[in-house]
């Protein structure tokens, strides 16, 4: 097991930063590099706040910490875990509240805070034994955390190969299935969208390509959601995937939709038990639509997909197969985070398309049926009757 921590920027208060404080800071960063996890937000609010706070420290400590944190954040893989947080859940929060919320949604083991922050958490009764005071001259609870890192952690290198074998036992079948996944239309459509955005394409051109992108995403989601339960069981049960486990926890905590609701949303529909998306895509201005498309095109799913493709093009070996499987789990979590992001957006891929004459005739017959007293069923009722 690897201990995970959320770091509140108040720990770098210049008033408290003594030589002893600096020494414990170095020990903490060494612990993270060796076998810990630092949980941060995907919007970089906490990272930026840490760098801003460091600027006020004495020059010697400032330079050393800037180098260490830049190294840590630059080489995030396996050391720093980014958790996506819905912006509407955090817009009114200060940095301490933000860090506290991040710890809750990511289910991190520890929140590390400075003195003033600890007082605030105790005053509003949010303090618990896993909130740790950063080391200072007195009340040095950091040593307890430091000991936890070295007593309870095991390196990722010690994980059992058998943990991975429960997922996909036949590498050839896995590679063939994965090849179909990474070549879904959503990925080629994304490249066309990027080109249109760079050339400042018209709203109509962007809208047409976004429909293709969304339909490609729908196809990808249908394929991946079939395996969601088994993949998540592997991630949650494998210590070596602890960095992904925290991201999955963040998604599950923030999700407001049901599996049926997500299926309905992709088809431009909704169910009564799920909240309605807050943003109607068709009502966005050109600038708002462009911003949405840029956000989607830059999401981590596509970076992970490119890594998968490169690994699949590498000469097969036991090491490459193992890396391929781990990268797939990363890809799957990126897909979950994309799903979470899209929960806020109402989009009907069929809106604005011309209806076929036979479909119009079918609608007329249904309308006449309802007017004559015919019975209708909600999507939930249909699903219940079908046992979905």
DSSP 164-190: HHTT---HHHHHHHHHHHHTSHHHHHH
Percent of the chain with pLDDT over 70: 74
Q: Is 116 in contact with 13 (CB distance < 8 Å)?
A: yes
Angle, vertex CA 241, rays to CA 240 and CA 245, nearest 5: 140
Indicate whether 185 pLDDT > 90: yes
For residues 272-296, average pLDDT = 91
Q: How far apart are CA 3 and CA 337, in angstroms?
A: 23
Residues in Cβ contact with 189 at an 8 Å cutoff, skipping those fewer than 6 apart: 209, 212, 213, 216
pLDDT band at 9 (very low <50, low <70, confident <90, very high): confident
- Top mean pLDDT of 108-117, 190-199, 345-354 is at 190-199
| pLDDT at res. 243 | 87
Its sign, for the CA torsion 62, 66, 69, 72, is negative
Q: Which of 339, 310, 343, 345 is nearest to 324 (CA)?
A: 310
Indicate whether 152 pLDDT > 60: no
Q: What is the pLDDT of residues 356-387, one digit of tens each?
A: 556 556 656 766 666 666 676 665 666 666 66
pLDDT band at 76 (very low <50, low <70, confident <90, very high): low
| pLDDT at res. 154 | 35
Give the residues across from 38 on adjacent strands.
5, 80
pLDDT band at 22 (very low <50, low <70, confident <90, very high): confident
| pLDDT at res. 26 | 75
Question: Which range (6-10, 59-63, 168-172) has the least confidence?
Answer: 168-172
Between strands 110-113 and 4-7, the pairing is: parallel
| pLDDT at res. 94 | 85
pLDDT band at 68 (very low <50, low <70, confident <90, very high): confident
pTM above 0.95, yes or no: no
- Top mean pLDDT of 16-20, 48-52, 312-316 is at 48-52
| pLDDT at res. 239 | 83
Cα distances (angstroms) measured from residue 69 to each of 4, 59, 84, 131, 146:
16, 15, 20, 22, 18
| pLDDT at res. 293 | 96
| pLDDT at res. 369 | 64
Q: What is the pLDDT of residues 212-259, one digit of tens each?
A: 999 999 999 988 988 899 999 999 988 888 889 999 999 999 998 888
Q: How far apart are CA 151 and CA 146, in angstroms?
A: 9
Cα distances (angstroms) measured from residue 267 to each of 120, 270, 352, 360, 361:
46, 9, 14, 19, 21
pLDDT band at 150 (very low <50, low <70, confident <90, very high): very low
Residue of 157 and 174 predicted with greater confidence = 174
Q: How far apart are CA 166 and CA 234, in angstroms?
A: 8
Q: What is the pLDDT of residues 89-98, one digit of tens each?
A: 555 568 899 9
The mean pLDDT value of the chain amounts to 79
- Top mean pLDDT of 51-65, 139-153, 345-359 is at 51-65
| pLDDT at res. 163 | 43
| pLDDT at res. 366 | 67
| pLDDT at res. 361 | 67
| pLDDT at res. 320 | 75
Percent of the chain with pLDDT over 90: 29
Q: Helix, strand, or coil here: 133?
A: strand
For residues 11-28, average pLDDT = 74
Question: Which range (136-140, 308-312, 325-329) has the least confidence?
Answer: 136-140
Domain ranges of the chain: 4-158, 169-346, 357-386
| pLDDT at res. 220 | 93
Q: Is 349 in contact with 343 (CB distance < 8 Å)?
A: no
Q: Helix, strand, or coil here: 138?
A: coil
């Amino acid at each position: 097991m690897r201990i995970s921590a959320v770091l509140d920027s108040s720990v770098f208060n210049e008033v408290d930063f003594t030589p002893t404080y600096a020494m414990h800071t170095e020990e903490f960063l060494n612990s993270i590099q060796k076998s810990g996890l630092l949980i941060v937000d995907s919007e970089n609010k906490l990272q930026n706040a840490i760098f801003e706070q460091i600027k006020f420290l004495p020059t010697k400590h400032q330079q050393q910490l800037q180098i260490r944190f830049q190294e840590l954040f630059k080489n995030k893989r396996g050391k720093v875990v980014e958790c996506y947080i819905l912006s509407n859940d955090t817009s009114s929060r200060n940095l301490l509240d933000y860090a506290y919320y991040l710890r809750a949604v990511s289910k991190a083991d520890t929140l590390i805070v400075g003195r003033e922050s600890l007082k605030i958490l105790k005053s509003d009764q949010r303090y618990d034994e896993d909130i740790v005071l950063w080391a200072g001259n007195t009340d040095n609870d950091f040593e307890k955390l430091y000991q936890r890192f070295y007593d309870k952690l095991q390196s990722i290198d010690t994980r059992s190969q058998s943990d991975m074998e429960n997922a996909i036992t036949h590498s050839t079948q896995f590679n063939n299935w994965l090849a179909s996944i990474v070549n879904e239309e959503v990925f080629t459509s994304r490249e066309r969208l990027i080109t249109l955005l760079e050339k400042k394409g018209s709203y109509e051109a962007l809208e047409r390509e976004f429909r293709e992108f969304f339909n490609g995403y729908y196809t990808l989601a249908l394929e991946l959601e079939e395996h969601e339960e088994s993949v998540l069981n592997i991630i949650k049960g494998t210590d070596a995937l602890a960095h992904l486990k925290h991201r999955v926890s963040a998604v599950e905590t923030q999700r407001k939709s049901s599996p049926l609701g997500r299926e309905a949303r992709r088809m431009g529909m909704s169910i009564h038990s799920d909240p309605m998306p807050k943003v109607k895509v068709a009502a966005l201005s050109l600038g708002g639509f462009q911003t949405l498309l840029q956000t989607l095109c830059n999401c981590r799913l596509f970076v992970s997909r490119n890594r998968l493709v490169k690994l699949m093009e590498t000469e097969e070996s036991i090491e490459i197969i193992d890396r391929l499987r781990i990268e797939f789990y990363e890809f799957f979590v990126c897909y979950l985070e994309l799903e979470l992001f899209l929960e806020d957006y109402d989009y009907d891929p069929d809106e604005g398309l011309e209806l076929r004459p036979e479909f119009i005739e079918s609608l007329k017959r249904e309308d006449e049926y309802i007017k004559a007293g015919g019975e209708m069923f909600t999507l939930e009722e249909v699903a219940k009757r079908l046992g979905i």
